[in-house]
Structures are given as C-alpha cells and as structure tokens.
Amino acid sequence: MTTVLRNARTSLGWFSSLGGKFFRVVPLTSLAIQTIALAAQVLLLLAFFLPLKVVILLGSASVPGYFPSYLRLFERDKLIVLVSVAALSCYVLYVLFEVAIAMLSRYGTRKLLDRSRKIRLFENQEKIAAGAYSRYVRAMASAAFMFIAFAILLYIYSLLFFIAGLYAAFVFLALMHFCEKSARVRGYLAENLGVALNSLAAVGFMVTFFCMVANFLLGSHPGVFAAVISLLLIRQGFQRAIGLISDIAALHAQRRQIGALFFHSQPLISEDRFQGSREQALISIAQRQVWIGKLLRDMTGVQAEDPAITWHQIGSVGVYAFEVTLAAGSEGLGVRYLIKLFAEDASSLAAHERTLLTAVASLPTLRFIGASQVEGLHCHLFVWSGERKLIRRQIGPAVLDLASRLMAIEIPNELLMRFMRSRQFLEQRISGEMLERVRIAVTTSEQARQLDSFVAQFARVREQLAALPRQLTSLDFTDDTLLLSPDDKYLLSHWSNWRVEPLGAGWPVGERDKLGEFVQRAAAMRPELLQAAPAPIMLAALMYAFERFCNQRNYQAALGLVVEMLPLLDEQGVTRGYESA
C-alpha cells in the first residue's frame, strides 16, 4: 500500500471514529441534522432547476412535448405560475431548513461538550466544536445525496453513469500516482485542495456533457428531459463529492483539537510545527555539513572540506544560524562565516532583511556576502570576524550607540519610497481611537484634563512627527543579536524587523536625558539633523513608546507618557532647532 493510500485510510478511519462518537452521544440529533441537510440539498437543487423550466415555458407557445405527461395536463400560463411558486417555495424551505440545522448543531454540540466533561481547552472551542459537528453531519448528507444522485443517474441514463464513474476512477488513480511520486504535487494539493477539486469536477462535467452530445448525435438516447436531469445530477454529484472530500480534509486538519474536545482518552496535544519540516532535516548535524559546504562553494568559490560548524543563537522564531570555520585542507583556512537559514514560514523575514542589507551599505552589521536558497528555503551568508556577544553591562551602551548610528544613516530615496508604499510611519499609525482607549486608565480629574488637552492638540502632534527627518529603527535589539567586533564596535546581527520612523522614534525612554547628546553626535555624519527641533524629536521617542504601551494594553504607562508629552507641545520648544539652540 502506498504512503498516500495509508494516509487516506488513516483519515477515513479517524473520520469514522468521530462519526461513531457523534451518533453514540446524540443519535437522534445527528440523524435529524443529516436528514434535514439532505432534504435541504434536494430543495436547493429544485430551487435552481425549476426556474430553467419556467424559462423554457416562457419561450414556448405551449407546454413542450418532452415534459412529463402529468405536467402537460396544465395550461401553459398556469404551469408557469405553478412552477415559479414551487421554485420560490423550495428556496424558502431551504432557508428554513438551514436555520433548523444551525439550531440543532448548537444543541448537539452542547450535549457533546457536556458529555466529554473536560476543562476549557482553548479559546473559541465552542465555535470549533460546532463547526466540526456540523461539518461532519453535512458531509454525511453530501455522501447520501451523492449516492442517491448517481443511483438515479444509473436508472435514467446508465451511459453517463459509467462515463462519470470511469472519469472519477481515472482521476483518483492519477492523483495517487502523482502524489506518491512528487512532493510538489502533494504540497500543491495540501494548499489548494478546493481549487484543484473544483477544476477536476468541471473537467469531469464537460467530459460527460460532450459524451452525451455524441450519444444524441450518433446513437439512441433516453430523451431530452432525462438528459437535462442527468446533467444536473452529475453536476450536483460532483459538487457533493468535492464537499465531502473537503470536509474530511478540514476535519482531519483540526484532528488534535477535535479529538481533545470530544474523546475522553485524548488530551490536547500541542502540534510541533518543526517536526517533519524541511528545516528540521537541513539543520541536522549530518545534513548541514553537506549543504553548507555546497553553499560556500557556490557563493564564495571556496572549497570547504569538513568545515567546523557551531550553533549561533539568534533568538528569532524560524531563523537558524551557524558559525562556520574552514578546516585544515580547505581553501581560505581560518576564514569564518555566519549562515542564517530561514524556515518556510519565515520567508518574509528573509526578504525584509535582504532588502535592507542590499540597499544600505553603512549598516552597523556583519559584512553581507549575499543571499541564496537551500531546497527552497532562504539563506543569508555573512563574514564572521570573531565578533562576540555582549555581557550584561555592555547591552545598555550598545543600544544607545547603535540607535545613534542608525540616526546618522541617510536612507536611500528608493528604499524610503518602497517603505512608504508598504508600511505606515509612526504619525500614520497613531490615532484618536488609540487615545480614547487610554481613557479607561484615567482615575483623577487632573488626568482627565491632561488627556483632554493632549487630544485637543493631537493634530499638531502628527504634524510635528511628519515634519521630522526619517531614520532607521530596529526591533531586533536583543541579547542574542547584539555583538562586539574585534575593533570594539557594536554591531547588530539580525535585521528582519526594521522600520523607517521619525527621528527619535525607538530611543529608550529610560535614557531620554541622553537623546539630545546622541542626536548631535549623529549630526556630525548627517548635518540635516541639526535643523530638527529638540522637542519634536523627544516627542517622537515618547510617542513611539506610547504606541508600544497601547499595543500591550498597558494603559497606565501610556497615560504617564501623556503628562510628559504635553510640555513638548509648547510653541517655542517646537520651533527651535539644535543649530540655533
């Protein structure tokens, strides 16, 4: 048995166990939902089928001869009215049945959760449980409808039944073959199952349609009315098959949560996304020797024979880093590198870092050699010159030094424009709604007065921030990413979370008294900073911290910053620059 078939068998076995649980605990409710869902599908089919008959009648002088004899007993106009009313009635009943299904699903879910007798496992568990229960019962209704539809098709138009069956068998075997042979096909189906199934169903419908046309032209056929009914049954049968497969796949994807909710013996097991992933295989000791050596050959031309590879902690989820030293017998003996491998779900981090590293040459970071891919995963290569991580007392000075050096960098216009088209600046992100949320932390009339005063001047705050020069900021200042070079310069090894903000944003508010000194130090490399007034720069630093506190729901700390920002809105403090101070 192939791997794909084994996985399919496992999924169907779990699906069957889930159904057994549902029908043991709430048998009448489950049966009622399945019956009503089946009836609703029939009503929906009739609601769309009957209007076609009305259109045919409107285009005919009398009731067509291929209509059933019991319909030909009615006059044309009366039949049009009757069929129209029947179509509307079917749709109204369909809506009512859907409401009944929703109500019964909620009832059945409550009974199932009460029977499981478990503590609360996660947020929205009632919604997930109701969705799983409803999806399962609807899937069973789809299976029943599909069986009935193809049974009717076999009776009224057996040729189309066999053609549809042969097509379904061909598609099944073809998918099994390609999924077994190609990981790419498996990945595509996993991510685009609905699109793929809809496309295959559409092709199957067209195949049966053209076979029916050929049958009408070349051989005997059961009649026009039977042909129309057959096409509708095939279309609906394929759609129900798609729904059934999609429902099974969706339920299986949530099997850990669903199993924990409904089965006594199954606790909630956290899913290890790393287990079985591509990066897990690549960073294993055996595999990394192979691909790192090849990467160095491709990117540097160095023949790396058995390089010494050690783990380098970056501290960013989905990013794996290694220090590589070339061993004896290799070209470039003694040369060292830092290699970062980005997980599949961290590709945006790789792209963000690569954009900055290739656009700004003066970043305080390791020398960037270039970017490549290893089995579809992004990889960045740097020169490692013996940098070391900082001890605790060095971290504070390093953050201030790097923040000042980022102020001094003149951002290339192209990079600035790309950022403007992609993200918002600080003055664009803050809003009046954010200020109103802070009001819940107000406890005194003085705090209320101060907040009202700040809200009244909020438009000026945004104007002052927008008028400031732009600077780079980073959210990656951590114990793991701060480095000291052999020539005693502070560096940052990771740049996946950079931003462009107003001058002063990102400065540690605990060191606000040093901001002016470091701005003037940065101005030695970037004289335009001297034109900026001290008050708006400090305002940017405090407003940046204010936004962070609001996002953390720390409204008490955010309210405290409002008191400090009010004096900065003094007209004199806003207009005087460092150069004139």
Tell me the CA end-to-end span of the chain in Å, nearest whole number: 82
Buried b (16+ CB within 10 A) or exposed e, 385-396: bebeebeeeebe
One-letter-per-residue 3-state SS of 479-511: CCCEEECCCCCEEECCCCCEEEEECCCCCCHHH
For residue 268, give both structure tokens. 């909630």
Q: What is the pLDDT of residue 581?
A: 44
For residue 428, the SS3 value is: helix
How long a stretch of residues is the chain? 581
Give the Å distances, CA to CA, from 242 to 176, 218, 576: 17, 32, 69
Give the Å distances, CA to CA, from 178 to 85, 246, 475: 49, 19, 44
| Nearest-angstrom CA–CA distance, 539 and 537 | 5
Q: Does the pTM exceed 0.85?
A: no
| Nearest-angstrom CA–CA distance, 520 and 179 | 63
For residue 378, the SS3 value is: strand
Rg (CA), the chain: 34
Task: Yes or no: say if 140 and 34 are a contact pair by the CB < 8 Å rule.
Answer: yes
Task: Yes or no: say if 96 and 47 are a contact pair by the CB < 8 Å rule.
Answer: no
Residues 6+ apart with CB under 8 A from 523: 408, 529, 530, 578
| Nearest-angstrom CA–CA distance, 277 and 269 | 18
Map tokens 């339920």 to a residue: 251
Torsion angles phi and psi, residue 475, rounded to 5: -100, 10
Q: In 10 A of CB 554, how many CB atoms?
A: 14
Could you tell me where the DSSP H helices lie in 59-157? 76-116, 125-156
Which sign does the torsion angle of CA 519, 522, 523, 527 carry?
A: negative
For residue 363, give both structure tokens. 């970043």
Going by the DSSP 8-state scheme, the letter that residue 579 receives in this structure is T
Q: What is the pLDDT along the chain (581 residues), one digit of tens a residue?
A: 466 677 677 777 777 887 787 888 888 988 898 889 889 888 888 888 788 777 877 777 776 665 666 666 677 777 788 888 888 999 999 999 999 988 988 888 888 877 766 666 666 777 778 778 888 888 888 888 888 888 988 988 888 899 999 999 999 888 888 887 877 787 788 778 888 888 999 999 899 989 888 888 887 778 777 888 888 888 888 888 888 888 888 887 777 777 777 765 655 555 555 454 677 778 888 788 888 888 888 888 877 777 888 999 998 888 999 999 886 555 555 678 999 999 988 899 999 999 999 999 999 999 999 999 988 899 999 999 889 999 989 999 999 999 999 999 999 999 999 999 999 999 999 988 888 999 999 999 999 999 999 999 999 999 999 999 999 999 999 999 999 999 999 999 999 999 999 999 999 998 989 999 999 999 989 999 988 889 999 999 999 999 999 999 999 999 999 989 998 887 544 445 555 44
What is the pairing mode between strands 368-374 and 490-492? unpaired
For residue 377, the SS3 value is: strand
- Comparing C-alpha atoms, which of 427, 429, 473, 457 is closest to residue 562? 457
How many helices, marked H, and strands, marked E, lie in the chain?
22, 10
| Nearest-angstrom CA–CA distance, 398 and 559 | 29
